[in-house]
């Protein structure tokens, strides 16, 4: 349920409504827009949730039932786009932001050189995995905290904030010491303990859609983070698993405009994991921007043939620079910048 306050509602009236919500055993989430203050009511309580409880209260204009389960992620609760700050820009704003870097942090020299290369090409942030979830237990699993330290040094050298994956709730505090954005990978999108820990951290959280998950599943994953009062959430479409085997996954282009309609949260695309083959990454990236994506996250490696993970889908720095040129043209065509 959502309470829309009157345009001239006072701070005292808003506080009294929130106090009543909490006394009834529910949690109130405040969203202050340009014209109205909106209060979302979430949670469970023995006290029945009834519209007539709040309608007579001073300052309340109307009560709006919310039929979708992702109340806090819904545009009904927060009609205006949420803009998440990143390196002096805002994801969800006019500019299309690009996060780039290798799948795995392989060495100190590799991540520093890559950071400088992607920054020169126009990247806003650096991605790189210090902990890697791999299908095979015998594959490279990442350098752990040492990899995080190399990422931090790359940030010092390049000025690019760090986006890196966290796989375990117990690792959240440590990763937060180094990273600017916590990435929840596709395999962990429904690891609810991890989502809760990421939400509690109050760090920016990037959630990748699970390879067999629906759009609603993704929004419900975001709801876990939002329920902790952490509004800095980024959604990522990275392709889903279908019967097609020529590509790694099938990029769900539909998801971009649908998510932009359903939620106020910024939506980005991962063309590298979506297609799995570097020669098609640029085309998928352009399609994502044309369909309304607020940003991209792309894998870039200095020597993809020698990469310890996901080399087949990684762009060289030269190919990434070429992609950025094309992205700027597409962004301009849809009244945005990049």
pLDDT at site 34: 65
pLDDT along the chain (338 residues), means of 10: 89 93 91 80 88 91 88 90 95 97 96 98 97 79 92 97 97 97 97 97 98 97 95 97 95 98 98 97 98 98 94 97 98 95
Exposed e or buried b per residue across 279-303, where buried means at least 16 C-beta atoms within 10 angstroms of its C-beta: ebbbebbbbbbebbbbbbbbbbbbe
pLDDT at site 137: 82
pLDDT at site 182: 98
Give the CATH architecture of domain 84-333.
Alpha-Beta Barrel (3.20)
CA dist 15 and 10 (Å) reads 9
Whole-model pTM? 0.91
Cβ atoms of residues 30 and 39 within 8 Å: yes
Cβ atoms of residues 199 and 226 within 8 Å: yes
Domain residue spans of the chain: 2-64, 84-333
Per the structure block, which two tokens stand in for 301?
């490696």
Per the structure block, which two tokens stand in for 322?
């070429």
Cβ neighbours of 48 (radius 10 Å): 7
Residue 59: which region, alpha, beta or left (left: phi > 0; alpha: psi -120 to 50)?
Answer: left
**Superfamily for 2-64?**
Phospho-2-dehydro-3-deoxyheptonate aldolase; domain 1 (3.30.70.1140)
């Amino acid at each position: 349920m959502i309470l829309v306050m009157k345009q001239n509602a006072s701070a005292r009236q808003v506080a009294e409504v929130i106090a009543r919500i909490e006394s009834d055993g529910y949690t109130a989430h405040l969203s202050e827009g340009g014209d109205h203050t909106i209060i979302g009511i979430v949670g469970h309580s023995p006290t029945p949730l009834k519209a007539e409880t709040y309608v007579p209260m001073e300052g309340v204009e109307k009560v709006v039932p919310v039929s979708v389960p992702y109340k806090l992620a819904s545009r009904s609760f927060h009609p205006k786009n949420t803009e998440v700050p990143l390196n002096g820009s805002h994801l969800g704003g006019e500019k299309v932001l690009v996060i780039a870097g290798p799948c795995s942090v392989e060495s100190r020299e590799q991540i520093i050189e890559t950071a400088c290369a992607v920054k020169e090409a126009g990247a806003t942030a650096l991605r790189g995995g210090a902990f890697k979830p791999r299908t095979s237990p015998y594959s490279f699993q990442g350098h752990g905290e040492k990899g995080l330290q190399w990422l931090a040094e790359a940030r010092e050298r390049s000025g690019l904030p760090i986006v890196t994956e966290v796989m375990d709730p117990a690792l959240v505090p440590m990763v937060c010491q180094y990273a600017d954005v916590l990435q929840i990978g596709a395999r962990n999108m429904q690891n609810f303990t991890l989502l809760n820990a990421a939400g509690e951290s109050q760090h920016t959280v990037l959630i990748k859609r699970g390879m067999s998950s629906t759009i609603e599943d993704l929004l419900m994953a975001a709801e876990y983070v939002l329920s902790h009062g952490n509004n800095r959430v980024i959604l990522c479409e990275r392709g889903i698993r279908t019967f097609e085997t020529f590509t790694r996954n099938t990029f769900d282009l539909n998801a971009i405009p649908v998510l932009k309609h359903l939620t106020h949260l910024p939506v980005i695309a991962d063309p590298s994991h979506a297609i799995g083959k570097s020669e098609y990454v640029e085309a998928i990236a352009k399609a994502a921007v044309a369909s309304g994506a607020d940003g991209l996250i792309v894998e870039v490696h200095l020597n993809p043939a020698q990469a310890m993970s996901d080399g087949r889908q990684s762009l060289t720095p030269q190919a990434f620079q070429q992609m950025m040129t094309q992205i700027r043209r597409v962004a301009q065509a849809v009244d945005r910048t990049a």
